[in-house]
Amino acid sequence: MLNAPYLEGIDPFAAAVRSITEPDPVHAALRAAGPIVQVDAPAGGRAWIVTDNALAREVLLDLRISKDPAFAPPGWDRHTAGLEQTAAEQPSLTTLDGPEHAELRRAHAPLLNPQRIRGRSDRIHAIARKLLTELAADRSEIDLMADFTTRYPLTVLLDLLGIPLEHVDQAADACRRMLSDQPGAQSGAIAELSELAASGLGDNGRGLAAELRDRVPEHTTQEQLQYHLFALIFAGQLTADAALGTLMAHALADRPHQPLADQGSIDELVRETLGQHPPTPFTLWRFTTTGIELAGTRLPSRAPVLVDIQGINTDPARSPGPDLAFGAGPHFCIGAQLAQLELRVVTAVLRTDFPKARLAIPFAELQQATSGGLQGSRLTALPVMLHG
């Protein structure tokens, strides 16, 4: 059995700023090196990145590869690696595997299923319309990244969970602090978001937070429940925020060619944008629980493994079929229906309510930045004139 090729001098985890039109060259380099490639991991030692679609789908189903940070390499610093606590310390959808994960998934799933989410469509339309209309009334040029892309998905999420909307600004601020590298900033932000989530759990709670409280396994503590809610808020905000920027930039750049509100073309734009510019370029970390063989190569026990979502989605040789923007297997994004609806709704509202909206600078001058690690790129600014 061979070792996977080691790609020296390529850092897939580096911070970078580039034009929206410029692809990240790292993904093509990884793909060219093989279906599974070793690179230097940000927290030390090697990491294994899967670049092949079929192999990725196997890995995402492989019970020997765990999400639990308890299996991270012994020398890894949790903060440098951006890891959650272990599943024993903090059980969550993103740290549990197997039956315990399935049990927690069953508690969440009906809350975010297609039917439930479709039922929120009018409400989400109203939120998008209100936020954009207020911004347009305030001034002629607006930076959507500063004033909309964080606020909109957070408003949708808090509304859905039954958390009073007066907390949106506080939640936005805490979500920003989640990405800070200042000592203690992240744990403070987690505590604040978890606390905020509790306001949806009172006796009068009518949103999905209260429904989740009634569905989680009996042994779940209040603190664990609040962490589950924090995870929904943070995962749902971070990803949708970045995706909204890229989507709205493309929607406005293509403006003269668009039909007014044709649902087929909106669905296609959302699918294409998420596929080609996935806000999560990699999956979260997984770790081998024992030495294993993958695609004829050897991985030691506790090897950190990632799937290169962006590289696989943009592979010109990928066979037709669903992309990996929302992952695959038991950890497939639980918010996928909600995220897609948020994105479709905003595109429709732009077309129907703001038919003259346009970018305030040329498309190619838009910059996307990543702060490194597993973080995806987010536009640094998206200046638009909503009334043309």
Residues that bind ligand HEM (CB under 6 A): 93-94, 105, 112, 231-232, 235-236, 239-240, 243, 274, 278-280, 283-284, 325-327, 331, 333-335, 338-339
Residue placing its CB nearer to ligand HEM in the complex, 105 or 358: 105
Cα 84 from Cα 91, distance rounded (Å): 10
Minimum distance, C-beta of residue 29 to ligand HEM, in the bound complex (Å): 21
Residue placing its CB nearer to ligand HEM in the complex, 20 or 338: 338
Cβ burial 80-106 (10 Å sphere, 16+ → b, else e): ebbbbbebeebbbbbbbbeeebeebee
Cα 197 from Cα 228, distance rounded (Å): 9
Minimum distance, C-beta of residue 141 to ligand HEM, in the bound complex (Å): 26
In DSSP notation, 19-84 reads ETTS--HHHHHHHHH-SEEEEE-TTSSEEEEE--HHHHHHHTT-TTEE--GGGS-TT--HHHHT--
Minimum distance, C-beta of residue 374 to ligand HEM, in the bound complex (Å): 9
Q: Token pair of 205, please? A: 């709670």
Q: What are φ and ψ of residue 132, in 5° steps?
A: -70, -40
Minimum distance, C-beta of residue 134 to ligand HEM, in the bound complex (Å): 23
Residue placing its CB nearer to ligand HEM in the complex, 144 or 325: 325
Beta strands in the chain (DSSP E): 16-19, 36-40, 46-50, 65-66, 141-143, 286-288, 292-294, 297-299, 304-307, 358-359, 367-370, 378-379, 383-385
Q: Token pair of 313, please? A: 């989605």
Residue placing its CB nearer to ligand HEM in the complex, 7 or 240: 240
Residue placing its CB nearer to ligand HEM in the complex, 283 or 347: 283
Residue placing its CB nearer to ligand HEM in the complex, 34 or 335: 335
Reduced to 3 states (helix: H, G, I; strand: E, B; else coil), residue 273 is: helix
Minimum distance, C-beta of residue 67 to ligand HEM, in the bound complex (Å): 7
Q: Which residue in the shown chain puts its C-beta closest to ligand HEM?
A: 335
Cβ burial 249-275 (10 Å sphere, 16+ → b, else e): bbbbbeeeebeeeeeebbeebbbebbb
Residue placing its CB nearer to ligand HEM in the complex, 64 or 105: 105
Residue placing its CB nearer to ligand HEM in the complex, 30 or 112: 112
Residue placing its CB nearer to ligand HEM in the complex, 136 or 210: 210
> CB under 8 Å to 348, separation ≥6 — which residues?
125, 261, 263, 266
Minimum distance, C-beta of residue 331 to ligand HEM, in the bound complex (Å): 3
Minimum distance, C-beta of residue 326 to ligand HEM, in the bound complex (Å): 5
Q: Answer yes or no: are the C-beta atoms of 117 and 338 closer than 8 Å.
A: yes
Minimum distance, C-beta of residue 13 to ligand HEM, in the bound complex (Å): 16
Tell me how far apart the 2 most distant CA atoms of the chain are, in Å: 65
Minimum distance, C-beta of residue 338 to ligand HEM, in the bound complex (Å): 5
Q: How far apart are the first and last CA of the chain?
A: 61
Minimum distance, C-beta of residue 177 to ligand HEM, in the bound complex (Å): 19
Cα 64 from Cα 292, distance rounded (Å): 8
Cα 30 from Cα 2, distance rounded (Å): 18
> CB under 8 Å to 275, separation ≥6 — which residues?
313, 314, 323, 325
Residue placing its CB nearer to ligand HEM in the complex, 12 or 236: 236
